[in-house]
Amino acid sequence: MTPIGQSFFRPAALAALFLLFFRQSSPGQNLVPNPSFEDVNTCAEYNQPCSPSAWFYLSRKFTTGYFPRYASATGTRHLQIVAVSRETVNRQYWETMLLCPLIAGERYSVSLKVASPETKTTLSKHCPNLRDIGLWFTNRFVFVQGDSLLQPRSYLSFTGATTTDLKNGWFEIKKEFVPTVHSSILIVGNFYRMANADIMDQRGSTNATIDILVDDISVVPVKGVTCGTEKKVKDSLYAITWRHSEHWPPAEGADTLTQPDASPPPAEGVERLVVDTPKALPPKPATDTIIVHNIQFDFDQYLIQNPDTLKQYRKLLSRPGIKKIQVLGFTDDVGSKAYNLDLSQKRAQEVARLLASTFNIDPALIEAEGKGISKDYPTRELNRRVEIYIFH
């Protein structure tokens, strides 16, 4: 080969090798929707911004911690989470669905930016205690009535993570991990097993709470693997605007007021109860709504896992003047339409039977109907449910 040919070949070969290496080593897509929390969701119930799009506050009673009081790491929005409280055993959490599920055995690079308040207007120059923030990758959303305490057997702790001071009160923490199970839901908060009171005493904190600010969450597959459904998942998450209740949006043009019920908090995984009272006069027939969500039904089963769940709605279901109760059953999309229609009918009938026997309701007042396959929610688990409508 001539010197000219050699001089031409070497740069070309190097370029080809560089492109090949880049393709193999380039990072994959961030699997966290709305990772910097800049896209704002407007709650249909309140017609005002209440949460980041695609994200859900663990408590369906209220939303807190999404009101920018401090400068964000990037943009203008971030989460402020009560990680430890002296006044309660509970903590605050946010959750979302990943654009692609985590694959067991694959390696992922995880990073987020954290900060801690020093005063009501300024951030501390010190990195927060990394025990106060973690990520739990699981396979279902968790919704409760008020704040809660989540202590899973395993979660991604950032103790020992690489930390970079961003010089603006924020710190970036990074860590790689390999999940042992497939997971589709990400929950952010403090999962450390020490009790709040013990944490406060150990650190000698005089504040009422220890807050953690979170911004720019990233979960990236090291090999760049994607699933091809990222846009569909993101669009379905962004489309959810009912954040503080279980009932469906009222009929178009209806003027309703959402009020919380005073019944005891439901079991973990069961969403809270709301009562919709029309404001317009003359009023339309009042309808109370209960949704018994996926946690109550095993896959391919119609028996409710914990029948006592319904007892917490005794006050509502024992009210005088009930004219009709409608029970609607739904399934996920696994299996044929005919099979799921039958399964949904059995779920509705079983709940109707429990209502009649538990609350001494005349069975003639209860209508049970199977609606078959539902695709209203972004996960199969959430689509597996029963809805109860109480007409007065």
Do 226 and 371 have their domain in common?
no
Instruction: Please list the alpha-helical segments (H only) found in the chain.
Output: 3-25, 196-203, 230-238, 314-317, 337-359, 380-383
For residue 294, give the 3-state DSSP assignment.
Answer: helix
**Residues 90-132: tens digit of each pLDDT:** 999 999 999 999 999 999 999 999 999 998 889 999 999 999 9
pLDDT at 268 over 60: no
Distance of alpha carbon 151 from its chain centroid, rounded?
Answer: 16
* Separation CA 285–CA 246 (nearest Å): 19
269 near 295, Cβ under 8 Å? yes
* Boundary of a domain, candidates 210, 238, 266: 238
* Separation CA 238–CA 250 (nearest Å): 19
**Residues 373-387: tens digit of each pLDDT:** 988 766 676 677 788
What is the domain range of residue 291?
256-391
For the domain that residue 274 is a member of, what is the CATH number? 3.30.1330.60
Do 182 and 326 have their domain in common?
no
* Separation CA 272–CA 260 (nearest Å): 8
Do 180 and 272 have their domain in common?
no
In sequence order, the 6+-apart residues with CB closer than 8 A to the CB of 210 are 82, 83, 84, 85, 116, 129, 132, 199, 200, 203
Q: What is the DSSP letter of 118?
A: S
Do 206 and 70 have their domain in common?
yes
Residue 121 belongs to a domain: yes
Do 273 and 380 have their domain in common?
yes
Distance of alpha carbon 23 from its chain centroid, rounded?
Answer: 33
* Boundary of a domain, candidates 238, 265, 295: 238
Supply the pTM of this predicted model: 0.60
Residue 88 belongs to a domain: yes
**Residues 231-246: tens digit of each pLDDT:** 999 999 998 887 765 4
Q: What residues does 204 pair with on adjacent strands?
A: none
